[in-house]
Chains A and B, each alone.
Chain A
Amino acid sequence: MKVLVPVKRVVDYNVKVRVKSDGTGVELSHVKMSMNPFDEIAVEEALRLKEAGIATEVVAVSIGPAQASETLRTALAMGADRGILVKTDATVEPLAVAKILKAVIAEEAPRLVILGKQAIDDDANQTGQMLAALLGWGQGTFASKVVIDGDAVLVTREIDGGAQTVRLALPAIVTTDLRLNEPRYASLPNIMKAKKKPIDEKSPDGYGVDVAPRLKVLTTAEPAGRKAGVKVGSVSELVAKLKDEAGVI
């Protein structure tokens, strides 16, 4: 069974992003970029399926600028077999990403696609669901457990108030939540080996996908700030303030 794992290059989760003073977006030059953390979990899950003898090949795909090949190298260093870079300098919205991935899937014919549930830059939480829709496949979003069962996959999902398990016919889409696994670090020998693994280069045009954005970004602004308050010296002072000043207890 082939597993496809889409990965996104995003601003590293430790970076505090700054809004550009002219309101045209956030400052992205000279900022550390990394693989979206939920995508690392997706790569890890695919690798575990391969190590369990269930997956035969793990293919990583990234849609983005030339530098997104670094993100693919990270996936290859973790253990993915090969990469596909769909190169574009445009901002590609989740709907267009889903359309490109659908075209990649038509060529690659994976039985399972594992994606991060959301990217930590646009926080949209859409791509996996949209891809499932376009393919007419079942979707196991926000997964905390993935079990392949013959021609189906059992996905335990994080939902408000607890967990839900669904059974999906394969091929299917899974999106990862935090507790699915703890991604491995790539070892130095594996990082070296990854440099020799193949990355195919493609383009959205080559797939016949129009990536023109549907959402026009009018402005990007700093959120309303919040001022630091006071430090109190004791529990009784805190309780008094909450009761008399803030009136919340």
Chain B
Amino acid sequence: MATLLLAEHDNKALNGVTAKALTAATALGAPVHVLVAGQDAKAVAEAAAALSGVDKVLLADDALYAHRLAEPLAALLVSLAGGYDAIVAPSTSMTKNVLPRVAALLDVMQVSDIIKVVSPDTFERPIYAGNAIQTVQSTDAKKVITVRTASFAATGAGGSAAVEAVGAQADPGVSSFVDESLAVSDRPELTAAKIIVSGGRAVGSKEKFGEVIEPLADVLGAAVGASRAAVDAGYAPNDWQVGQTGKVVAPELYVAIGISGAIQHLAGMKDSKVIVAINKDEEAPIFQVADYGLVGDLFAIVPELKSEIAKVKG
């Protein structure tokens, strides 16, 4: 049988994490079908069909799936599950909401956040904020899996799969969408960014984030991240949070500014290719994982760093 991959998108464009999860889905060894559930999402389905290794794209285009609420989307996935050995999704706030609901309806124990496919039923996944890696074998007949996309390379283009329409399922009728407020930003998304500039509690305020951290990010074309402490203190929005309970990232360059390096933060960024730490405490644990450390006052260092980089980039 085949593997069903749930696509992440915003009804307009396919999110790049889908292509990364596709790499994991393909490793299961069966043909991969991609499910695009959305409203007016034909362009998304076409983008998914162009990914290399996709066998077929299922498009469930209905107002019911416009915001991908868990209750109707889980009902749709369960209705399709009979034809699949595995249901796979990139780990995002949408799939973390939906997939466990699907797993329970199928009486399957989900495998969350896999970082490696060992065999079609055996996976590696981090526990304790990445301080230990478990190898688990699923004994369920069907597998339900979310993929930590920072651990997989994206599959390239070159596919030309057919797009097949699937009908909407009945709305379970227990939930409805009220509204959504999405930050509008010209910066890259955290999970897709090649460079990330993150600030911690030492940044001191929301205003300082704007004055110190964000300009450096902009000169680097980087996404902005934050530690849990900074989010907790209200200096940065929750969806900037990098760490165990936030986003897990692995960019080419990660710049940690005023971040001490708590276990739960390291869990979200220690697979970055190059890590730079700027902190006034030379004993801060962040220096134990940093390739380049600079000890000093961030309010002096970061503006200087910004102008030096601007010069280099000319």
Contacts and interface: CB of A to CB of B under 8 A. Distances in A.
Interface in A190-248: 213-223, 226, 228-232, 234-236, 238-239, 241-243, 246, 248
B144 to A, nearest CB: 10
A164 interface: yes
Given A141-B70, A216-B136, A248 B293 contact: no
B183 A162 contact: yes
A149 to B, nearest CB: 10
A90 interface: no
A17 B131 contact: yes
Given A178-B238, A215-B138, A123 B308 contact: no
Contacts of A137: 174
A174 B197 CA distance: 32
A248 B195 contact: yes
A137 B245 CA distance: 25
B131 A177 contact: no
Secondary structure call for the A interface = mixed
A243 B311 CA distance: 12
Q: Which one of B70, B105, B113, B132 has the highest number of Cβ atoms from chain A below 10 Å of its Cβ?
A: B132
Nearest to B253: A248
A236 B308 contact: yes
Contacts of B244: 120, 123
Contacts of A215: 109, 111, 136-139
A127 B294 CA distance: 42
A238 B294 contact: yes
Interface stretch (A42-50, A70-78, A80-88, A153-161): A153-161
Interface in B271-300: 273-276, 282, 287-295
Contacts of B287: 228, 231
B168 interface: no
A243 to B, nearest CB: 6
A165 B178 contact: yes
A164 B67 contact: yes
Contact of B292 (A129, A179, A222, A229): A229
A238 B276 contact: yes
Interface residues on B, range: 35 or more
Interface in A145-198: 154, 157-169, 172, 177-179
B100 A238 contact: no
Interface residues on A, range: 35 or more
B75 to A, nearest CB: 10
B294 A242 contact: no
A226 B274 CA distance: 11
Given A178-B238, A231-B293, A94 B100 contact: yes
Given A154-B178, A166-B177, A178-B232, A130 B128 contact: no
A158 B247 CA distance: 12
A142 B108 contact: no
A234 B282 CA distance: 14
A41 to B, nearest CB: 11
8 contacts: A120-B129, A169-B173, A221-B135, A223-B133, A230-B293, A238-B294, A239-B305, A242-B274
Interface of A: 11, 13, 16-17, 19, 26, 38, 93-95, 98, 117-118, 120-134, 136-139, 141-142, 144, 154, 157-169, 172, 177-179, 213-223, 226, 228-232, 234-236, 238-239, 241-243, 246, 248-249
In the A-B complex, the 8 residue pairs with the smallest Cβ-Cβ separation, listed nearest first, are A229-B291, A214-B109, A129-B100, A130-B104, A133-B104, A138-B174, A126-B100, A162-B182
Interface of B: 67, 69-71, 74, 92-94, 96-105, 107-113, 122, 126-140, 172-183, 189, 191, 195, 220, 228, 231-232, 237-239, 241, 244-245, 252-253, 263-264, 270, 273-276, 282, 287-295, 301, 304-305, 308-309, 312-313
